[in-house]
Amino acid sequence: MAPTIEPVQTSRDFPASTTVVIIGGGIIGLTAALALSERGIPVVVLEKGRIAGEQSSRNLGWIRKTSRHREDVPLALASDRLWAGMAERVGSDVGYRQSGIMFLAKTDEQLAMHEAWLKSVESLSLDSKLLSAREIDSRVPGGKGEWAGGIFTASDGRAEPSLASSAIAKAAMAKGAVIVENCAVRTVSRSGGKVSGVVTERGEIRCDQALLTGGMWSRRFLGNIGVSLPTLPLILSVFKTAPMEGPTEIAVGGPDFSFRKHKDGGYIITQRGALDAPLLLDHLLVGSRYLGVLRSQRHLLRISLGKHFLRDLALPRRWRAGKSSPFERVRTMDPPVNAGLNDEAQRNLAAAWPVFEQATVESSWAGMIDITPDSNPVIGAVPGVPGLSIASGFSGHGFGTSPAAGQLAADLVAGSEPIIDPTPYRFERF
């Protein structure tokens, strides 16, 4: 089950035409809709299930620059500025707090990786700094772990996934955006080679441009029109504790656990050192592009061949606009929780900060992440399909950058000055 989000009353109308159709109502599609509607551009968001029902409600809520690729940091810095003004912009709290993020290193090798990252972003003047074991103890008291050191960025933070997408959706609607739930987009329609509409399960909507923000489904959507977006899925299991006395407001990532405080005083916890990697046909099709990442990250992956493979195989890869699509078959991707990984996280965390021995698990869930070969998203025009743009492939860190990512997508669609240089995100890099 996904964590519940603030309810939003979306539209019952089904418009015949608009200027921009956004395919997918996660936080990226919703922030793009907000940015477009603020400029007076008519926009319709179509969501196959419920808004933020997939990754955007299931994520940890971390907003970080720490450990991002150098070329991805400008997007994160622009997002920090937008998060800071978000509550005022949308007229309600989104849970944003600049409470800092800390990553811990158990070994000298892990610490050397943090040092190398810090060196790689030297010229960007971030406030990230290395910490000694003693400094870790003083910032996060009560610990028993033995750390080689850590890295801390005070200007990193968190927001609440249970609030953010709903607040952004409501603000976009107040500015004129139309959001329709339970409406899968099957494909785009074209005239004269250019996108002229989208075909949905409820009929066609004519539009000048379409923006695909379908998260892990964007690969399948594009595959049906002959475009290969190289993304692969990973599954992360998460649990939340009941409100408790915790050690810090800082979000802390250890090698084999992470925790951050929830607005209700509970903690959101995960096994940071392990992700489920279900093997799919896509691994055969695009897996070779990931060999570089695999070499350095293999130890994080729990690879399996099982139910996911068969379920995925049963979903069509090609379909006609007049026929039901995979998006109607799977309204919400709700992968099973790996209880074993959650148990590991709880044990590892309690060994490091014994206060967590008292934690009561309140709920748990899992989410499927869309990973690209270089872990950066794709934002911009889809090659060979004039009128279609994309913002997808956020590789497990798109909640934090969503305000600027959605705005960048909106800038590119509207043909206005982009909020940051979009070059690192071009589809053509693959």
Ligand X SMILES: Cc1cc2nc3c(=O)[nH]c(=O)nc-3n(C[C@H](O)[C@H](O)[C@H](O)COP(=O)(O)OP(=O)(O)OC[C@H]3O[C@@H](n4cnc5c(N)ncnc54)[C@H](O)[C@@H]3O)c2cc1C
Strand partners, 20: 43, 209
Residue 109 or residue 227: which is nearer to ligand X going by CB?
227
Residue 150 or residue 157: which is nearer to ligand X going by CB?
157
Residue 147 or residue 221: which is nearer to ligand X going by CB?
221
Q: Coil, strand or helix: which one is 101?
A: strand
Chain length of the chain: 430
Residue 135 or residue 201: which is nearer to ligand X going by CB?
201
Degrees (nearest 5) of the Cα angle 29, 32, 35? 155
Chain positions contacting ligand X, by CB under 6 A: 23-29, 46-49, 53-56, 58-62, 184-185, 213-215, 217, 221, 236, 238, 327, 367, 369, 392, 394, 396-400
Least distance to ligand X from the beta carbon of 77, Å? 14
Residue 15 or residue 142: which is nearer to ligand X going by CB?
15
Q: Kindly calculate the radius of gyration of the chain based on its CA atoms and give it in whole angstroms.
A: 21
Least distance to ligand X from the beta carbon of 365, Å? 8
Residue 214 or residue 387: which is nearer to ligand X going by CB?
214
Residue 67 or residue 110: which is nearer to ligand X going by CB?
67
Would you tell me how many other CB atoms lie within 10 Å of the CB of residue 264?
Answer: 12
Instruction: State the Cα–Cα distance between residues 96 and 87, nearest whole angstrom.
Output: 8
Degrees (nearest 5) of the Cα angle 270, 273, 278? 90
Least distance to ligand X from the beta carbon of 335, Å? 9
**Are 262 and 162 in contact, with CB atoms under 8 Å apart?**
no
- The Cα-based distances of 185 to 203, 218, 310 in angstroms read 9, 11, 24
Least distance to ligand X from the beta carbon of 287, Å? 21
Instruction: Please tell me the number of Cα atoms within 13 Å of 227 on its side-chain side.
Output: 21
Nearest residue to ligand X by CB is 26
| 129-133, Cβ contacts within 8 angstroms, sequence gap of 24 or more | 129/153, 131/102
Residue 159's contacts (CB-CB under 8 Å, 6 or more residues apart) are 61, 63, 83, 86, 94, 95, 96, 97, 399
Least distance to ligand X from the beta carbon of 48, Å? 4
Least distance to ligand X from the beta carbon of 288, Å? 24
Least distance to ligand X from the beta carbon of 146, Å? 26
Least distance to ligand X from the beta carbon of 296, Å? 20
**Alpha helices of 121-237 — where are they, by DSSP H?**
133-139, 161-174, 218-223
Residue 24 or residue 246: which is nearer to ligand X going by CB?
24
Residue 136 or residue 234: which is nearer to ligand X going by CB?
234
Least distance to ligand X from the beta carbon of 44, Å? 11
Instruction: State the Cα–Cα distance between residues 42 and 6, nearest whole angstrom.
Output: 25
Strand partners, 232: 371
Residue 221 or residue 257: which is nearer to ligand X going by CB?
221
Least distance to ligand X from the beta carbon of 220, Å? 8
Least distance to ligand X from the beta carbon of 268, Å? 8
Residue 25 or residue 74: which is nearer to ligand X going by CB?
25
E-only strand ranges, 107-193: 128-131, 149-153, 157-158, 178-180, 185-191
The helix-helix angle for 402-414 and 73-84 (nearest 10°) equals 100
Sheet holding 203-206, edge to edge: 185-191, 194-200, 203-206
Both structure tokens of 36: 């477009």
